[in-house]
Amino acid sequence: MLDSIFLNNSFRNWIYALIAVFLSFTVLRILFRLLHQRVLKIAKKTKTDIDDLIAALLKKINSLVLLVFSLYIGSLFLLLPERVKILLGKLIIISLLLQVAIWGNNLILYLVNRYSKQRMQEDAEGATSFSVLSFVLRIVLWSVIVLLALDNLGIDITALIAGLGVGGIAVALAVQNILGDLFASLSIVMDKPFVIGDFIVLDTLSGTVEHIGLKTTRLRSLTGEQLIISNSDLLKSRIRNFKRMYERRILFTLGVVYQTPLEKLQMIPRIVQKIIESKDKVRFDRAHFKEYGNFSLNFEIVYWVKDPDFKVYMDIQQSINFEIFQKFQELGIEFAYPTQTLFISQETGKDTNPTK
């Protein structure tokens, strides 16, 4: 029975081949698992990232690759036709290419995550650019692997690439909106109008940039919700980037009543200047009697806050307002508010045609 012939091989050889496949696959799985655990233990004791990377790559060894190698070991116990041997050789090459692609993909992701964690605070622009560059590198990697695999199978990749070029035009026309967002994302990365962590305002929307994707950019608004905006729409808007503000220019007005004496009006610019100059992180610019309003005499004041933080500005403005209010109370200067004054004039009538 064991010496019976099936496909040019005895059943005994087929059994040996199956046992070899099973044992090879099991031994390889156990060997790489033990190796992964060993490297992982070493990685926990060291501060370098190289052993962490090796452990991550060992964990990503594909079982399909091990199975193909096990099949090759089992085939050594059999007499196989030349075509089968060639096919098995091609499967081994394709499986190796697959494993290289998996390792390359994870290596790129590992480097991106490592770079982002280390440099996000120091170089947000670089981290943003590198994340998009990683996507391009992964696309290139998988494209090369697929082309090499097809070439190994005997497919003419030159004709395939030419056909993909023609088909790509049709696909591009069908998905032009998506491609528009894709190119917009590349424009954002290259031109850097904003990066992750910037607070931006566009039209009626505002928020902190959390993620710059291939199609959309996500903002976290001041009220807490996430705003998702397509990249093409984003670049069509006028963007105000407050993260890149180095100083904040403040302009505010004061209105006093018309009954204020001239000498007190002349004192107001000096009073306001002295109060503003007493504050830290502030540079005084000007204070002028600007105009005669409908119900008030208006002063315009301008100063600069040397810190872009909005809370710092509000604290400073609040302190200035309190001191101006106190000083005006001491000097008896009244703030104006909307009022109307009605002047009534009574005239004595004269008889223009007296009776004679």
Q: For residue 252, what is the domain's CATH number?
A: 3.30.70.100
**Distance between CA atoms of 31 and 66, rounded to whole angstroms?**
11
Give the list of residues 6+ apart from residue 266 with CB closer than 8 angstroms, or none. Answer: none
Same domain for 146 and 15: yes
CATH code of the domain covering residue 208: 2.30.30.60
User: Is 168 a domain residue?
Assistant: no
Q: Which residues of the chain have pLDDT under 50?
A: 356
- Of 192, 225, 242, the position where a domain reaches its end is 242
Q: Sheet holding 216-220: strands in order across? A: 226-230, 216-220, 205-212, 199-202, 239-241
Q: Which residues pair with 253 in a beta bridge?
A: 300
User: Is 183 a domain residue?
Assistant: yes
User: Is 81 a domain residue?
Assistant: yes
**Distance between CA atoms of 295 and 184, rounded to whole angstroms?**
51
Q: Looking at residue 234, what is its pLDDT?
A: 83
User: Is 118 a domain residue?
Assistant: yes
Same domain for 272 and 200: no
Same domain for 200 and 103: no
Structurally, how many domains does the chain consist of?
3
User: Is 14 a domain residue?
Assistant: yes
Same domain for 65 and 187: no
Helical pair 82-119 and 50-59, crossing angle rounded to 10 deg: 140
Give the list of residues 6+ apart from residue 344 with CB closer than 8 angstroms, or none. Answer: none
Q: Which residues pair with 297 in a beta bridge?
A: 256, 292
- Of 221, 242, 263, the position where a domain reaches its end is 242
78 lies in which domain range? 5-155
Same domain for 209 and 138: no
User: Is 170 a domain residue?
Assistant: no
User: Is 297 a domain residue?
Assistant: yes
Same domain for 225 and 120: no
User: Is 264 a domain residue?
Assistant: yes
**Distance between CA atoms of 245 and 235, rounded to whole angstroms?**
20
Q: Looking at residue 162, what is its pLDDT?
A: 62
Q: Looking at residue 356, what is its pLDDT?
A: 45
Same domain for 116 and 30: yes
Same domain for 21 and 147: yes
Cβ contact 344:304 at 8 Å:
no
pLDDT tens-digit profile of 118-162? 655 555 555 555 666 677 778 888 888 887 887 777 776 676 666
Same domain for 207 and 303: no
HEC readout, 51-100: HHHHHHHHHCCCHHHHHHHHHHHHHCCCCCCHHHHHHHHHHHHHHHHHHH
Same domain for 307 and 284: yes
Q: Which residues pair with 202 in a beta bridge?
A: 205, 239
Same domain for 205 and 252: no
The burial of 350, by beta-carbon neighbours within 10 Å (0-12 exposed, 13-18 middle, 19 or more buried), is given as exposed
Same domain for 77 and 52: yes
